[in-house]
Amino acid sequence: MQHLGPGCWPQSGPVRRGPGGRLVCGADVFRAGAAHHGQHPAVAAADQLLLRTRAGPDGAVDQDADLVGVAAAVHGDPNGYQRHGVPPPACASPARRARRARPRFVYRTPYTLGRPVRDLPTRGNNSVHDRSGSGHRAGFTALVTASLLVTAAANLSPTLVSALAVQIQDDLDIGETEIGMTVSAFFFVGALTSALSGRMVERIGPTTGLRLSTAAAGAVLVVTGAVGRSWLALMILVGLAGLANSWGQPAANLYVARGVSSHRQGLALGIQKAGVPAAALLGGLAIPTVGLTIGWSWAFVLGGLLAFAVSLGVPAVDRKPPATSRQRAVTDRPLVRPRPDVAMRLLIAVTCSTCLAAMGSMALSSFFVLSSVEIGIDEAAAGILLMAGSVVGIASRLAMGASADRASLSPFHMLTAMFAVAALAFVGLSTGSKAMLYAAMPFAFATSYAWPGLFHLATVRYNPSAPGAATGITMTGNFTGAVCGPVLFGLLVEATSYGWAWSFAAITSGAAAAVMAVTGRLIDRRPIHSPRGP
């Protein structure tokens, strides 16, 4: 064994792993150093203490505290056990054992001879070793239910505009282009603020981000119902709701990444992203129950009250993730901002693909009721069809999320197939036939509403170091497509017909499938090791 110089220990032998497969590196380094210097009692003491190595709040091994305790014992400092939070040796007095009954978790750099123990560099409360959170750990059902309701509440504004478009057109004397621009304003603001919101959520934590976004969305909904009596005011208020949603999307992904173990994140994200079709279901329900009875503005007020109630019931999760091997590496360098694991050029390519797919998806949710009324379907019946399509979308999202946890197929291959099926469904809608609408509607909603959940799952799994920041980048494509899609669709409807507009949606979905097929293959060539969740 080679000596590395004064104050340094060599490392040798196999590196052991603690709970969750995490490295117990520091203790092995000390054990090797003790053996090298002929301190065989220290070797035995290290082995005994390593058998009792404790785990931190998220299962991370408290290896550095145990290492310091062993070193203190070797150098004749029995009080070192007390100072550094290490269990006392078996010969300790009962009083000392009682004092050490309360667990302490001390994260320090490895002990070396001739040098004091130094604390890890921190940056406020954002240290990679910061385990501070709420102290409360909610169950799986509570977490996914909260994320579902938050996502639904954050997307109510554009959904209500789309579902109640017939009445809004009559009341405000506007056309399809104005409806498309109003819906697009929601996503335009989100596209401008998505990347910044992702970084902000990484700092303030997912729980705070969700509560703030839902409360803000509720306030905007209530104000929209109260003062949205002109097209300009309606568009501005819906745009402000998009700002709240731009916080909510990265926060919801981070919420699942922090609170749900990785082997269940597919189902959790599927349930969470089912909030979008759930909002559409509420919009379809609002047509016969609220819009045709007491007026469309009351639907916004009731939606705002629902959002306020949801914001009060969001359970808390830990602010910081389980430490990865890269984050646990002890270094004297300052900590850097978390970065996505996938190369930026590939993230941009995937973002372009989802931009094209979102153009068709948002056209479906924005103009399905108007398109159905155009070919002779009653407005109330169109609302029921929207509800049925939303139920299909919810079921598809849940099924895709559950299957993604068990399937060996790459999520990017699944996304490619879904984009292709959506393109075929839009071709069916372009015929203008009621029979084709009934036949194509389930496939259109099943794919257009289900692929975002699968895409967010891929974003979280392939970027374990910074899922919130990666979501902020990729959501820019979703928002951009959602901005352009309704506007271009509305312009095509007024210039030509609904048939040509649905054909345009089919073309964009087909192009999205082609881009995703190529980019997904490139991403899958680079292995990404995702840490296990708590």
pLDDT tens track for 480-492: 888 888 889 999 9
- Bridge partners (DSSP) of residue 123 are none
State the pLDDT at residue 64.
44
The correct answer on CATH 1.20.1250.20 for the domain covering 140-322+341-524 is yes
Instruction: Point out the least confidently predicted range of 418-422, 496-500, 529-533.
Output: 529-533
Can you tell me whether residue 108 is helix, strand or coil?
Answer: strand
pLDDT for 440 equals: 93
Q: Indicate the pLDDT class of residue 43, thresholds 50, 70 and 90.
A: very low
pLDDT, tens only, 370-425? 899 888 898 888 888 988 988 998 888 788 777 776 766 788 888 999 999 999 99
Cβ atoms of residues 50 and 27 within 8 Å: yes
pLDDT of residue 449: 80
Look at residue 532 in the predicted model and tell me its pLDDT.
39
**Alpha carbons 373 and 114: distance in angstroms, whole number:** 82
Q: Residue 233 burial by CB count (10 A; 0-12/13-18/19+): exposed, middle or buried?
A: middle
* Range of weakest confidence among 57-66, 163-172, 300-309, 515-524: 57-66
CA–CA separation, 67 and 85 (whole Å): 10
Global pTM reads 0.59
Q: Residue 128's pLDDT is what?
A: 29
Q: Which of 191, 176, 155, 175 has the alpha carbon at shortest distance from 483?
A: 191
Backbone angles phi, psi at 119, to 5 degrees: -70, 155
> Of 265-269, 353-357, 419-423, where does mean pLDDT reach its minimum?
265-269
Please report, rounded to a whole number, the percentage of residues in the chain having pLDDT higher than 90: 20
Strand-pair partners of 17: 23
* For residue 42, pLDDT beyond 70: no
Q: What is the reported pLDDT for 206?
A: 81
pLDDT at 334 over 60: no
Percent of the chain with pLDDT over 70: 66
Supply angle C-alpha 174, 298, 478, rounded to 5: 60
**Smallest Cα–Cα separation from 106: which of 151, 144, 54?**
54
Residue written as token pair 């091994």? 61
Those residues with Cβ within 8 angstroms of residue 105's Cβ, 6 or more apart along the chain or in another chain: 54, 56, 57, 62, 65, 85, 131
Flag the least confident range among 19-28, 267-276, 381-390, 514-523.
Answer: 19-28
Identify which has the larger pLDDT, 244 or 59: 244
Answer whether 112's CB lies under 8 Å from 97's CB: no
Of 279, 247, 282, the closest CA to residue 152 belongs to 279
Q: What's the confidence (pLDDT) of residue 342?
A: 76
- Residue 340 pLDDT: 66
Q: What is the pLDDT of residue 93?
A: 57
Residue 20 pLDDT more than 50? Answer: no
For residue 509, pLDDT over 90 is answered with yes
* Other C-beta atoms lying within 10 Å of the C-beta of residue 1: 12
User: Tens digits of per-residue pLDDT, 63-84?
Assistant: 444 444 444 444 444 444 444 4
From the number of C-beta atoms within 10 Å of its C-beta (0-12, 13-18, 19+), residue 238 rates as buried
Smallest CA-to-CA distance from 481 within 248, 184, 238, 246 is with 184
Mean pLDDT of all residues in 330-347: 60
pLDDT, mean of residues 231-249: 89
Distances in Å between the Cα of 161 and the Cα atoms of 11, 184, 302, 371, 440 are 64, 11, 14, 15, 23
Average pLDDT value for residue range 447-451: 85
* Position 144 pLDDT exceeds 50: yes
Other Cβ atoms less than 10 A from the Cβ of 212: the count is 18
Answer whether residue 178 shows pLDDT above 60: yes
Q: Which amino acid is located at 130 in the chain?
A: D
pLDDT band per the 50, 70, 90 thresholds, residue 203: confident
Mean model confidence pLDDT for the chain:
72
Task: Please check whether residue 311 is in contact with residue 219, taking contact to mean a CB–CB distance below 8 angstroms.
Answer: no
The predicted structure's pLDDT at residue 96: 55
Q: Alpha-carbon distance 20 to 63, whole Å?
A: 14
The pLDDT, as a whole number, for residue 526 is 67
Distance CA(504)–CA(151), nearest Å, equals: 28
Average the pLDDT over each of 110-119, 185-194, 219-228, 285-294 and give the range with the smallest value. 110-119
- Give the integer Cα–Cα distance in Å for 328 and 115: 21
Q: Is the pLDDT of residue 202 over 60?
A: yes
For the chain, domain boundaries: 19-97, 140-322+341-524
Residue 138's pLDDT is 57
